[in-house]
């Protein structure tokens, strides 16, 4: 399915940095699609939009509904959708749910977080003509506590092995989340497929951030987030002016009325 987009992405490795952002709606997608190589409908929407403490209870239906909205705004970027927790516990459920996501959203690929065990699931999906993006390091669906990965020699060795097994399983790319710079560089150098970093240094082939974090909307600013705008401040300013105009009877004017 749509392997031309996958091939374009893979050919950027070691040549041109890959730009990725998350999106959960048509409106945001229409803006970022012009500047991104990948748009990801992340299960981070559980935290960002629904105020959940983690992503564990995000449902397949919720992911599909937001992905359907994103699909209406995307034109050129590779369109990837996260598979939520417990939707790929075995090969049969993974195939069924991945196919449902693709059928209902027309996405190009799905993303699966690694638990060091699901290589056969990735391989089975790929053999079923489903494009899969991997994800290692800090994997929110499986890790109870945040930690930086790859700081010790033993951890580095495990992460490199994990990444290589995901590549051998057939994934076209892999997200490295909060992995040390040194280990990220070694993984990126050893893989033939592109690495997409979040909190994993410039050594990766590309970068991804949650759009709401990057635009100053979420209030979540860990070390790896650079705030490129302060939309929270702009929105507050707009709302205050709106309130002021209503109270002072300046809105609506005749031109705003029928």
Positions marked active-site:
177
CA distance 119 to 211: 29
CA dihedral sign, ordered 102, 191, 90, 51? negative
Q: Per-residue DSSP letters for 178-223?
A: SB-HHHHHHHHHH-SS-EEEESS-TTSSEEEE-HHHHTT-SS---T
Query: Roughly how many angstroms between the first and final C-alpha of the chain, as a whole number?
Result: 50
CA distance 67 to 23: 9
**Distance, C-alpha 142 to centroid of its chain:** 16
CA distance 41 to 71: 10
175 and 111 Cβ atoms separated by less than 8 Å:
yes
150 and 184 Cβ atoms separated by less than 8 Å:
yes
């Amino acid at each position: 399915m749509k392997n031309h987009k996958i091939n374009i992405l893979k050919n950027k490795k070691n040549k041109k940095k890959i730009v990725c952002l998350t999106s959960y709606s048509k409106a945001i997608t229409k803006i970022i699609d012009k500047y991104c190589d990948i748009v990801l409908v992340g299960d981070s929407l559980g935290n960002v939009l629904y105020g959940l403490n983690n992503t564990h209870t995000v449902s397949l239906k919720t992911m599909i509904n937001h992905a359907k909205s994103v699909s209406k705004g995307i034109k050129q970027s590779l369109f990837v959708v996260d598979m939520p927790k417990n939707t790929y516990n075995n090969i049969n459920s993974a195939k069924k749910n991945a196919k449902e996501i693709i059928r209902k959203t027309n996405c190009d690929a799905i993303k699966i977080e690694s638990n060091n065990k699901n290589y056969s699931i990735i391989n089975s999906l790929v053999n079923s003509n489903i494009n899969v993006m991997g994800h290692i390091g800090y994997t929110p669906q499986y890790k109870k506590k945040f930690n930086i990965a790859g700081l010790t020699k033993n951890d580095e060795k495990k992460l490199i092995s994990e990444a290589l097994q995901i590549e051998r399983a057939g994934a076209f790319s892999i997200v490295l989340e909060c992995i040390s710079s040194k280990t990220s560089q070694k993984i990126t150098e050893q893989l033939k497929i592109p690495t997409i970093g979040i909190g994993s240094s410039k050594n990766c082939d590309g970068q991804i951030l949650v759009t709401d974090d990057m635009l100053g909307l979420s209030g979540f600013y860990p070390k790896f987030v650079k705030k490129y705008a302060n939309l929270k401040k702009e929105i507050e300013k707009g709302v205050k002016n709106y309130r002021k105009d209503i109270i002072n009877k300046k809105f609506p004017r005749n031109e705003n009325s029928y």
